[in-house]
Every structure is written in structure tokens, then in C-alpha cells.
Chains A and B, each alone.
Chain A
């Protein structure tokens, strides 16, 4: 989902940066307050960031014959809420833009918007919806993480189609082409991300039930189960 350095027209690059900046700023504020109020959550926030670090470094082969990577933002969004993941995702993307020439500074705003804003918000929304439907906890986590992953790549396709509409078919034709590259490739990877997030949650639920309960991610009865 990394739009490469310089590959968004100036007005789009500026626009996405302006759109992402308030989320990142508010996210920093939220995380600071949360850590100040509950310092014991610091380590768990580190785990959420580390998970995004690992998963976005893993370029996996997909059935379309190209490689892409998961995003790892679903875990943190479920634990800390969507806003907290904006600065976390921004750090991951900045690391890759500066050191790996993967993504870029001019496209950072757009990439933050897809991976660190749309993804986490989707994860939280899907998680809440699935919980309200009384699905099993693992299913909720799986759906939240994998759909967040997929929607991140759909967002990237929208961003690129908007910036580069097809000369004949316009935005829709262009979106179909970009989605063919990003979203289809991403389907098996999104499933992988969902499964891996369930694995991490199982471990957290087993060894850190009190934290999850304090954060109101699981109810008392689920934590002791």
C-alpha cells in the first residue's frame, strides 16, 4: 500500500498530509494521556507498535503472483482505539520512508491515511459490530484485523485512482485496475493478518487477562474462561 515517493501529484500529496495531520496530532495527545493515567499500559502499547512493525516488514507472496505485506494495525486499534494507531502507524511508515525508500515523505500523508487511519477505524468499527452480534471473541478479532487490512489497500487504490483517473474510463476504470493490483493481492494476506492477530490475542488473553479486562476489551467472564 506504499505509494512511492513523488508518485502523487503535489496537490494530492499536500491534501492527504493535511487530512492525516490532525489524526496523528490527536493520536499523540490521546496516547500521552492514556499512558499518563495508566502507565502499566505502556508495555502493551509497545506490543501493538511492535506488531505493526513486524507485520508491515513481512512481504508475503500472494495468489496474484505479486508480493505485498499486512499492516498489523488491527491489534492496536482493538486494544487502544483507532486514534492511538495514527501516530504508531506514522512512525512505522516514516521509518520505511526514510531508511528503506519504501513509501516516501511526499506520500507519507496518503499512506498514513490508508494504513494508520482508515485501517484502525475500520478495525474498531468491525470489532464493535461483530461484538454486538455476539460472535465469538476470536471471530470478532479475526474479522476486525483482516477487514482493516483489506480496507487499507482499498483506500490506497482509491487514492491512486483519484490522482490518476483512466483517460477513457475515468476514476472507476482506474480504481478497478489499482484494486486489481492491491486489493485482490491482499485477500490472502488479510486472512493471514486476521489469523495472526487472533494468535496474539489468545496469548494476551491467557497471560494478561487483567489488562484486557481493565481496557474493557473482554468482559470478566471471558477473561477468566
Chain B
């Protein structure tokens, strides 16, 4: 049952991520003829909104280091995810083995009990 549940949960997560790609229609190009970017970051949208609310606002500090390109940025994001996922995988793998060894260690004891 639990294993079933995990599978269903993971399918739901994939659907939640994939469905917007189908559901959201690409907007028509704006009046200046430029195609409107779709699935841009919400952070960037917020930055643009700051520009509309307060057109005079000037950011007073710039990032010290900016990824040289979109590719480098996705490399670093992938690295961040890989490090995290690697650690979780290691921990769960170690836990599974430990649990298995513990069960195997318990088995002979049970038999002895019955023999007594």
C-alpha cells in the first residue's frame, strides 16, 4: 500500500509540473511585435512590477558574481540539485541496507526462541 502511495504521489507531482505546459497558451506578441516570454521566472516578473510601480527606483547594489550565461546558471542549478539529491539517495540507501541487515540479524533469534 505504502509503495503504491509513493508511486501515486510522484505521478501527481509530475502531472502538476507538466500540465501547465499544456494548459497555458502562448500569449500573442505584444504591440511592439516582440514575442511575449512564457514561463519566465516569477522573480523577474516581480522586478518588472517594481519598475511599473516606482519607475524611478534604481537598484543600489549589483550581484558580485553573475553566471556568465544561461547555460552556466543551469549548470549551477543542476549542481545544487544533484548535491542535494545525491545526499538524500546516499542516506536512504544506507538506511535501507541497515534495516535489511537488522531484520536478517533478528531472524535466527526468533528461531532460537521457538526451539526453546
Show the binding face of A for B, using Cβ within 8 Å: 1-7, 9-10, 43-44, 46-47, 49-68, 95-102, 104-106, 138, 156, 160, 164-167, 174, 177-178, 181-182, 185-186, 188-189, 191-192, 195-196, 198-200, 202-204, 206-208
Select one of B39, B41, B61, B91 contacting A104, CB under 8 A. B61
Contacts of B86 on A, CB cut-off 8 Å?
50
A4 touches B99 (CB 8 A): no
Contacts of B83 on A, CB cut-off 8 Å?
50, 53
A207 touches B96 (CB 8 A): yes
B81 touches A7 (CB 8 A): no
Contacts of A63 on B, CB cut-off 8 Å?
19-20, 23-24
Chain B interface, >50% SS class: helix
Given A47-B91, A181-B46, A192-B16: A5 touches B84 (CB 8 Å cut-off): no
B20 touches A61 (CB 8 A): yes
B42 at the interface (CB under 8 A from A): yes
A167 touches B43 (CB 8 A): no
**Min CB–CB distance A183 → chain B (angstroms):** 10
B39 touches A61 (CB 8 A): yes
Given A95-B80, A185-B42, A208-B95: A47 touches B59 (CB 8 Å cut-off): no
> A142 to B85, alpha carbons, bound, how many Å?
20
A106 touches B81 (CB 8 A): no
**Min CB–CB distance B103 → chain A (angstroms):** 11
**Min CB–CB distance A44 → chain B (angstroms):** 8
B24 touches A47 (CB 8 A): no
Contacts of B54 on A, CB cut-off 8 Å?
164, 167
27 A-B residue pairs with Cβ-Cβ distance under 8 Å, sorted by A, are A6-B60, A7-B57, A9-B57, A10-B60, A50-B84, A50-B91, A52-B84, A54-B81, A54-B84, A59-B41, A67-B41, A68-B41, A96-B80, A99-B76, A101-B63, A101-B73, A102-B43, A160-B50, A165-B53, A167-B54, A174-B53, A191-B16, A195-B12, A195-B13, A203-B95, A204-B95, A207-B98
A54 touches B85 (CB 8 A): yes
B40 at the interface (CB under 8 A from A): yes
A99 touches B65 (CB 8 A): yes
Given A5-B59, A206-B2: A98 touches B45 (CB 8 Å cut-off): no
